[in-house]
A and B are shown apart, each in its own frame.
Chain A
Amino acid sequence: MIKSTTVIIIILLGATNICGQELTADQIIQKVDNLMNQETVYGKMKMTIVTTSGAKRTFEYESWSKDWGEKNLVRYTDPPRVKDQAILMLNNADDIWAYFPRTNRVRKLATHAKKQKMQGSDFTYEDMGSGDAFITNFTAKRLGDEKMEGYDCYKIELTKKKDVNSYYSRIIMWVIKENFVPVVLDYYDEDDPDRLLKRLVQYDIKEIDGVPTGMKMVMYNKEDNTQTSMEMVEVKYNVPIKDEMFTERGLRK
């Protein structure tokens, strides 16, 4: 009896010690990365672009992701102008292929294509499918804690590592302490680290299949004064997705 009580006390003390420990920036980013890159993800998205003139353009697409974000496939379903156009990104978006149904051509794109806007939106392809880029491409540093969008958050600065191909010099990220959702991300210019280019905000955070998920995210373009919202019409985590999906054959389907 004395022995078992001692064990419980030791466990409780240990747990208290862990809870009280301050997480490092790397640990926080690792948790963010684990949250964002589930083993597989299927989603149906609705993207709405609001231009400087106030005109709106809406796109709908399906996306499949596998191997913790290492493989991604995006296929547009609407409007008819872009229907069935698809983008395949492998090796954390180091290999990209685009499929154009009107010409029945698959074209391999170089990684510089990640800088291009996705259908003229405020999201670049780099924003969409870079797998664990936060860890591999950036060095993390904690900037203290702040309240953001009503949540208690860790404030993290990510600075681009040398010889990394990224559109951004640094990213400031506010991570919700409770669930490690990066609720706000500020993206800074590659050449001028003080020039804020864009801000991404996640709204309506819900738990889907046990994963806290922002059901809507909005990218505010601070330079052009435009914005693009991305709404999750449907999302499923850790569902079976065949490897065949992430091939040229899958791209053309």
Chain B
Amino acid sequence: MIYDFRITILDFEFKYSKRSLFSCYLIFILIALLMLPASGFGQKVEIFGYFEPQLMGAKIKNEFYQLSSNKLRVDLQFKPSDKVAFGANFDYITYHGKTQWDILEFLPKSVIDEAANPSFLGIDFNPYVLPFDDRQFLDNAYLKLSFKYADFTVGKQQLSMGTGYVWNPTDVFNQKDMIDPTYEQPGHNALRLDMPFGSGFGLTTIYAPTEDWDYSDVLLKLKGRFSHFDLSILGIQKHWKFTDARLFDPIFMNFIQRDTKRQILGADIVGELLGLGVWAEYAFNDVKIDDEMDKYLLALERFSPPHLSIIRLPSMEIPKNYYEFVAGMDYTFDFQTYVMCEYYRNTLAKSDYKKYNLNDWMQLLSAEKKAISQDQLYLFIQHPATDLINVGGSAIISISDNSFALVPMMTYNVFENVDLNLFLNFYFGKEGTAYAKNLGNGGMVRARIYF
């Protein structure tokens, strides 16, 4: 259950969500476009999307909790010519049922003691409660211009890197949901330039501006093809925040965050070997920590009441460098069964589960870390039971701490444009491990109606 939260927490980034005015702008644009069919402009605008009701349930400490959501996604595409394309989509999500989840309920007792106990005007409150508030936002809105030798895309857009299926060391923009790794990723504000050379080679540059010019994200990717293999090398600079979930800032009412600059050298390859599909991905991360926060903490300590004493805790562990590596293979048997396995190593994570601390868990849940345990394995199997039903499942195994999760799944194309997905999740690890039993066994039913 806890892994279902990851994407949602990522959106909140431990901050109270700010409803964007973008949604109003998009509604305005949609209405304006719909009103234009007579001019010929509207005739080229395509509007499509889906409605996705979802029910999630989990058994935690003899209680069964439910959270349901309704997501409406409206996509808009406008291609006035082969050289110009505009795409956008607007998401509206409502939540029902248990919309307040205390993250500490899922975490091992050994790390809960590290949690902060802040109070405001003498009243204690729990900053580890994750609220599922209704949301509406502009997920993507971009303009793509195609020139003879390059494509230029500007605006909020999906940025996906890497050849891995579940884990992508070179994808610094997204965090996949391990229960459903193929679920769509959010849009990112960026400028992207793709320059193909010949049929199999190309250069991609991405610039994603942030508040501070020095911390803006930059990516350079060179792609090539040799024999039946595609490969690429990447250089990336990414602004990365590490949250210290032990320290709650009473002024900004948020957890203390350390700004870091990650410089990454990566590579990926995908192809075929002895009839098997094979892929690998590697990223070396060099981490530079901004010391501005130290000055702020000193000032905070000086003016805070003595009982807060927040900086007396040992500093948060942030490594100077680490690497991530993924290797996988897949195969389709003659009887249509598809199997896949993927190995993942992340040296930012730990090999001994007894050393997992509160920050490790919270950074995992906030997508600041891609893993809490150093070595993991993902196994997947799928078989078309009928023309319309696929059955299968995945096993997510932490080799480092001997815990694992099983995720049986089924997809059913009920009607022409209606899909039904069922996922169950069962955890089998000892308390404190990556896939511990106390994380909450449960499941999810998701329908999707396309229009």
Do they bind each other? yes
| With A246-B199, A249-B194 as contacts: A117 and B184 at CB distance below 8 Å | no
Q: Are B450 and A80 in contact (CB under 8 A)?
A: yes
Q: Are A243 and B199 in contact (CB under 8 A)?
A: yes
Q: Are B48 and A103 in contact (CB under 8 A)?
A: no
B residues less than 8 Å from A167 (CB atoms) = 334
Q: Residue-by-residue, is B416-451 near A (CB-CB < 8 Å gives 1, otherwise 0)? A: 110100000000000000000000000000000011
A residues less than 8 Å from B182 (CB atoms) = 100, 103
Q: Give min CB distance, A222 to chain B, whole Å.
A: 15
| With A108-B271, A120-B388 as contacts: A115 and B332 at CB distance below 8 Å | yes
Q: Are B275 and A111 in contact (CB under 8 A)?
A: yes
A238 to B245, CA, bound (A): 65
B13 at the binding interface (Cβ < 8 Å): no
A103 is contacted by which of B185, B194, B228 (Cβ under 8 Å)? B185
B386 is contacted by which of A51, A58, A113 (Cβ under 8 Å)? A51
B317 at the binding interface (Cβ < 8 Å): no
Q: Are B331 and A112 in contact (CB under 8 A)?
A: yes
| Chain A, residue nearest B227 (CB) | A95
A83 at the binding interface (Cβ < 8 Å): yes
| Chain A, residue nearest B162 (CB) | A105
Q: Give min CB distance, A164 to chain B, whole Å.
A: 12
| Chain A, residue nearest B195 (CB) | A249
B202 at the binding interface (Cβ < 8 Å): yes
Q: Residue-by-residue, is A27-59 near B (CB-CB < 8 Å gives 1, otherwise 0)? A: 000000000000000000000010111010110
Q: Are B277 and A112 in contact (CB under 8 A)?
A: yes
Q: Give min CB distance, A38 to chain B, whole Å.
A: 21
| Chain B, residue nearest A51 (CB) | B387
B117 at the binding interface (Cβ < 8 Å): no
A81 at the binding interface (Cβ < 8 Å): yes
B275 is contacted by which of A51, A112, A248 (Cβ under 8 Å)? A112
B residues less than 8 Å from A120 (CB atoms) = 384, 387-388, 413
A residues less than 8 Å from B331 (CB atoms) = 110, 112
| With A102-B184, A165-B275, A249-B151 as contacts: A108 and B230 at CB distance below 8 Å | yes
A190 at the binding interface (Cβ < 8 Å): yes
Q: Give min CB distance, A30 to chain B, whole Å.
A: 27
A137 at the binding interface (Cβ < 8 Å): no
A34 to B202, CA, bound (A): 34
B235 at the binding interface (Cβ < 8 Å): no
Q: Are B451 and A80 in contact (CB under 8 A)?
A: yes
Q: Are A49 and B184 in contact (CB under 8 A)?
A: no
List 27 contacting pairs A-B, 8 Å CB cutoff, sorted by A: A49-B387, A51-B387, A51-B388, A52-B386, A80-B48, A81-B450, A100-B182, A103-B158, A103-B184, A103-B185, A104-B157, A105-B160, A110-B276, A112-B275, A115-B333, A115-B336, A117-B336, A117-B384, A120-B384, A121-B387, A165-B275, A167-B334, A226-B387, A246-B199, A247-B196, A248-B202, A249-B194
Per CB-CB distance, the 9 closest pairs between chain A and chain B, nearest first, are A110-B277, A104-B158, A80-B450, A110-B272, A51-B387, A112-B332, A81-B450, A108-B270, A102-B184
